[in-house]
Structure formats: structure tokens, C-alpha cells
């Protein structure tokens, strides 16, 4: 195994943010990384821009600062911001009934609001029909299956993580109200204006920048033979419906050309750390600063209104604070600030905004980790960030 202290790391940090460089390096030294990037933007200025390691498991190709990687469910938070632009424009609002725009969706027939649908309260966390990964690329097939699906609970009355199918819900509403896909809206309203590397439906011209994912079962951790540490995880009864139909393999599926070309707003965004941080930095900016503020006060309040908080998620068996498609900070998921919001991705990627402290945070990597290993890696970065900032209000 390579001496982890010799892994090449590059980039810069502003004065006062040195603890983040130390934390980033410590994750490599502990054998928790193969390749990774970290970017933090504070009040419009890049204060952390770090990258290092390798793109491949053999550790032969250096990781680049603008390396793209599939960020799994970190996609959801960015897609929710793209959808929020429709609310900002007055095309729709979160309290309108889904049935007003999408009457064919069975789950929407009981008055389910758009905001609650995006907050994983629609009862359609999956479908009864067995799926192959290729089915996810067939938009019309998936929409028809979701329309016909008998909800697994009364829509609006509880929540369960719509892990794989969530992206079809805001995506279909965007199509029906604008004629544009959510991926197109994301590029036009977020990625291009902010010069942010984030793609929902990757163009072939960007393929050369994509690094392969390394699944938890293939991790080579210093001092340990087992990286897939999930023994303590006790999922809810609908976990197989939401996350195992279909099973998605990190390399064979999520590194494939069909996966990249599809628009799966639940799971297939391709991004750099700089891209994730840039979008969240704009979402964190004060609305009065129209040069950089993404959303008005009214839209941001509506996006961040807590819609799930006390009940156990029926898929994950955890209590999760959710707004309309974004996760609201709880138990330090996004550091110390209660105002922070964003979304993590399977295996470890993370993006969030902290309006109180003016932070946009992006972290991407190719070595997926779960359990205690994943927590140590992420919490080390978040603890270092908190150490660099004034105490949260």
C-alpha cells in the first residue's frame, strides 16, 4: 500500500482557514481518500480550494482541481435550488396542489402540495414493478409507473426518503410548467451564470474529466480490511423499495455513458467541488445583493420551511429536517449553524449553504465510504470549518 503521507495535495487556503488544509490532509493520511477536492466560499471569496490524490484505484492518474465525479444525492440539493427558480419566477409555488399541474399522479389526488412532494412526503418512494438500471433512463416509463403507483402511506402524512425516484417529481413538474427539463433549467439559471461545474445530463465533451467511483467494498483503508461499516445501520421497512429497486453499482452503472447522459436529479449530478460550492455560496448570499443572491427572502423562506422534523423517516429510520427538497441542518450534519441547508450524497460527497455565516461548501471524492469511516472523514472537515469561523448565533 502507498505511504499515505506522500499523497500529492495541492491548492490554497486563506489566512485563518489553515485547519481545513490540515483536516483535508489528515483524511488522506488516514487512508480515507483516494482522490478528493474541497472548496469553501465565504461571502463571495474563495477561502479554501484544495485537491489531491488520484482518479483511479491503482493511484496512477493525478486528481485535477476541476475533476468531475458523480455526486449521487448531493444532486438533490442543487436540483431543489434549480426548481426554486420556478418559485422565484412565480411559475408555481410550494403550497399549490400537485394535482393542479399533474393530475395523473395518483399520489397527488388527496391535495398533496408541491412542497410536501419535494420533501419526500408523497408516499411514492419507489414502485412495485421490479426495475433494471436501464429503466431509469426511460423518462416516460418511469413517469407512468409513478403515476400509477399506489402510495406506500397517505401522501402528506409522513415521510420516507425517495432515494432513486425523487428526481422525476420536480423534473416532471418543470417540464409541465416550462417545457424545459430540470437539467436545462439548472444549466441556464445556476451553472452557467455562476460559472459552476455542475451537470445534470453530462455532455460528451466533459467525459474526459470524470473520475470513476470506488465502492465502499473496494476501499483500501490503512490499518483496516473492512470499509463497508454498516452493521449499526437499522433501516426502515421501505428501504428495499426506495434504495434497492434497482441496485445501482458505483462503477458498472454510475460510471457508465448512459448514466452520465440521463437526467436523474436524485442521483446523477456530475460536479467539481468548486461547482457545488459556487452554487451554494450564491444560495447563502443575502437576497439584497442581486449580484450574487440567488433567491429572494420570500422564496428562501418557503424553500426552507420545515416540512419533516419529528417523525421517523420510513425508509431511513431516522429523524431528518427537510424543506422543499433540501435537508435542514440537524445534529451537525452541516456544521454548527442551525441555518445551514444542503444535501449529502451516498459515499460521502457533500454540499451546503450557511446563510448565517455566508458559506458555500463543496466536497467531492471518488472513494465511497459508509458507517464510522464516512462519519470520521466528513466530521473532520466540518469541525475544522467551525474552528475557522465565529460561533454560530
- Assess contact for 63 and 55: CB atoms under 8 A: yes
Distance CA 215, CA 218 (A): 5
pLDDT at 291: 46
The answer, as to whether pTM is greater than 0.85, is yes
What's the rounded Cα separation, in Å, for the pair 255 and 211?
A: 8
Q: Does residue 338 lie within any of the structural domains? A: yes
pLDDT at 218: 87
Contact 248/164 with Cβ under 8 angstroms?
yes
Q: Which of 93, 89, 150 is nearest to 324 (CA)?
A: 93
Q: Give 204: exposed, middle or buried? Use CB within 10 Å, 0-12, 13-18, 19+.
A: exposed
How many whole angstroms separate alpha carbon 292 and alpha carbon 278?
10
> What is the residue whose three cell numbers read 425508509?
315
Q: Cα-atom radius of gyration of the chain, to the nearest Å? A: 20
Q: Going edge to edge, which strands form the sheet with 198-199?
A: 69-70, 270-271, 198-199
Pairing of strands 45-53, 35-42: antiparallel
Domain coverage including residue 244? 4-388
What sign results for the dihedral spanned by CA atoms 356, 357, 359, 364? negative
- Domain CATH for 43: 3.40.710.10
Residue 350: inside a domain, yes or no?
yes
Q: Please report the pLDDT score of residue 290 as a whole number.
A: 46
Q: Largest Cα–Cα distance in the chain?
A: 59
Q: What are phi and psi of 319, to 5 degrees?
A: -95, 120
pLDDT for 303: 98
**Per 3-state DSSP, what percentage of the chain is helix, strand, and coil (rounded to 5)?**
35, 15, 50
The Cα 40–Cα 345 span in angstroms is 17
Q: How far, CA to CA in Å, does 365 sit from each of 51, 313, 378?
A: 10, 27, 11
**Does residue 297 form part of some domain?**
yes
DSSP 8-state assignment for residue 150: P
At 311 the pLDDT is 85
Residues 336/245, Cβ–Cβ less than 8 Å: no
Angle 74-88/297-304 helices, nearest 10 degrees?
A: 140
For residue 240, being part of any structural domain is answered with: yes
pLDDT at residue 3, as a whole number: 55
**Residue whose cell numbers read 461548501:** 361
Tell me the pLDDT tens digit for each residue of 282-319.
Answer: 999 866 544 456 899 999 999 999 999 988 999 999 99
- 393 belongs to a structural domain: no
Which regions in the chain score pLDDT beneath 50? 1-2, 223-228, 289-291
> By the 8 A CB rule, do 279 and 125 touch?
no
State how many domains the chain has.
1
Q: What contacts 191, CB < 8 A, 6 or more positions away?
A: 197, 198, 199, 275, 279
Amino acid at each position: 500500500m502507498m505511504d499515505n503521507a506522500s499523497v500529492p495535495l495541492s491548492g490554497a487556503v486563506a489566512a485563518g482557514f489553515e485547519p481545513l488544509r490540515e483536516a483535508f490532509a489528515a483524511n488522506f493520511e488516514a487512508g480515507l481518500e483516494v482522490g478528493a477536492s474541497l472548496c469553501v466560499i465565504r461571502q463571495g471569496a474563495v477561502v479554501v480550494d484544495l485537491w489531491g490524490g488520484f482518479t483511479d484505484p491503482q493511484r496512477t492518474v493525478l486528481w485535477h482541481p476541476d475533476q468531475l465525479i458523480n455526486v449521487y444525492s448531493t444532486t438533490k440539493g442543487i436540483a431543489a435550488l434549480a426548481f426554486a427558480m420556478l418559485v422565484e419566477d412565480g411559475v408555481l409555488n410550494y403550497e399549490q396542489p400537485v394535482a393542479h399541474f399533474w393530475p395523473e399522479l395518483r399520489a397527488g389526488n388527496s391535495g398533496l402540495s408541491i412542497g410536501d412532494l419535494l420533501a419526500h412526503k408523497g408516499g411514492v418512494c419507489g414502485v412495485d414493478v421490479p426495475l433494471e438500471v436501464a429503466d431509469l433512463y426511460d423518462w416516460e416509463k418511469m413517469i407512468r409507473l409513478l403515476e400509477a403507483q399506489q402510495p406506500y402511506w397517505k401522501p402528506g402524512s409522513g415521510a420516507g426518503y425517495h432515494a432513486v425516484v425523487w428526481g422525476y417529481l420536480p423534473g416532471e413538474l418543470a417540464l409541465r410548467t416550462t417545457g424545459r427539463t430540470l437539467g436545462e433549467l439548472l444549466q441556464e439559471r445556476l451553472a452557467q451564470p455562476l460559472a459552476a461545474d455542475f451537470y445534470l445530463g453530462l455532455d460528451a465533451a466533459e467525459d474526459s474529466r470524470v473520475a470513476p467511483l470506488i465502492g465502499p467494498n473496494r476501499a483500501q483503508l490503512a490499518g483496516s480490511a473492512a470499509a463497508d461499516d454498516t452493521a449499526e445501520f437499522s433501516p426502515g421497512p421501505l428501504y428495499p423499495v426506495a434504495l434497492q429497486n434497482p441496485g445501482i453499482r458505483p462503477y458498472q452503472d454510475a460510471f457508465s455513458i448512459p448514466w452520465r447522459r440521463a437526467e436523474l436529479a436524485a442521483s446523477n449530478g456530475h460536479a467539481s467541488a468548486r461547482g457545488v460550492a459556487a452554487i451554494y455560496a450564491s444560495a447563502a448570499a443575502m437576497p439584497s445583493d442581486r449580484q450574487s443572491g440567488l433567491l429572494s427572502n420570500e422564496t428562501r423562506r418557503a424553500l426552507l420551511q420545515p416540512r419533516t422534523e419529528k417523525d421517523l423517516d420510513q425508509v431511513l429510520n431516522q429523524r431528518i429536517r427537510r424543506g422543499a427538497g433540501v435537508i435542514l441542518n440537524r445534529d451537525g450534519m452541516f456544521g454548527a449553524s442551525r441555518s445551514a441547508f444542503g444535501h449529502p450524497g451516498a459515499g460521502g460527497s457533500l454540499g451546503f449553504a450557511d446563510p448565517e455565516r455566508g458559506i458555500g461548501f463543496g466536497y467531492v471524492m471518488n472513494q465511497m465510504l459508509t458507517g464510522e469511516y464516512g462519519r470520521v472523514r466528513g466530521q473532520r472537515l466540518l469541525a475544522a470549518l467551525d474552528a475557522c469561523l465565529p460561533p454560530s448565533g
